[in-house]
Amino acid sequence: MARTISIPLGVDPAQFGELNPDFFKALGDPVRLALVAYLAHLGKPSTVTEVSGCCGVDFSGVSRHLKILREAGIVTAEKRGRKTYYALDADKITSSLHGLSDILEALSK
Amino acid sequence: MARTISIPLGVDPAQFGELNPDFFKALGDPVRLALVAYLAHLGKPSTVTEVSGCCGVDFSGVSRHLKILREAGIVTAEKRGRKTYYALDADKITSSLHGLSDILEALSK
DNA sequence: TTGATATTTGCAGGTATATGCAAGTGTGAC
DNA sequence: GTCACACTTGCATATACCTGCAAATATCAA
């Protein structure tokens, strides 16, 4: 699967912010979206064990989902001892959303 | 596939705006994201034929992709004669993005 | 009516994704 | 060292998805 979109002919690549399908794909799964909501609810870096059980999936699956979220720049992962703390990466999420907001702004002009 | 996420235990459903995985999943495909960018570039309601050829997929595939984008509330479709005009639905996109922005705001508090 | 245009849908293929269970890795406690 | 803990990864299965081609539908033009 492509990591970035191929800019269509006639579209100025600089016209819009970065548009990465992997970012949206990562959020396009109900479990991962629930994990994001739950991480926001907890409001602090949390472990796989802590967030498991909120989505009805095995913790191994949660681990995999968190990896996908991390690779998409949605969460950060920090290892401390035998625990890994996952937290929302607000800055990266914001910048990933800019591509879309730019499109909407361009439309209203 | 679930249409909405199941709210994790301990999360107040009213705390965040609507979070629909189908919205993000629709944008999580390189072709569909390119279509969105191209529709924005054209800046006007456009037909399947017009946007086809910008993504290297058969027009039948483009038709299917546009249907997915429509069902996700990203584009509108209006039939006029034998043509169907697709256009970005800025309002719906904006409101779908609010769920995420709400999360980010809640984090910074 | 006949034919061209515009789009949608059925079908079949290949590929990708999500899941649970079990096994593996690494770290800390004793 | 030995054990439990926290997490990750391999494997197998089932499901979902994207794609092109061809056929079907619908509208307009002549």
Asked if A29 has any chain B CB less than 8 Å from its own CB, the reply is yes
Higher per-residue pLDDT: B96 or B8: B96
Which residues are within 8 A (CB) of A88 and not within 5 positions of it... i.e. 6 or more apart? A36, A39, A40, A74, A75, A76, B103, B104, B107
Round to a whole number and report the distance in Å from the CA of A60 to the C1' of D1: 29
Q: What is the pLDDT of residue B103?
A: 82
Q: What is the pLDDT of residue B93?
A: 95
Q: How many CB pairs under 8 A join A and B?
A: 149
What is the rounded average pLDDT of the residues B23-40?
A: 97
Q: Which domains does chain A have, with CATH numbers?
A: 21-108 (1.10.10.10)
Strands B75-80 and A75-80: unpaired
To the nearest whole angstrom, how far is the Cα of A26 from the nearest Cα of chain B? 8
Q: What is the pLDDT of residue B77?
A: 98
Higher per-residue pLDDT: A92 or A12: A92
Euclidean distance between CA atoms B22 and B11, whole angstroms: 20
Categorize the per-residue pLDDT at A63 as very low, low, confident or very high, splitting at 50, 70 and 90.
very high
Round to a whole number and report the distance in Å from the CA of B78 to the C1' of D28: 17
Q: What is the pLDDT of residue A12?
A: 43
Q: What is the pLDDT of residue A9?
A: 42
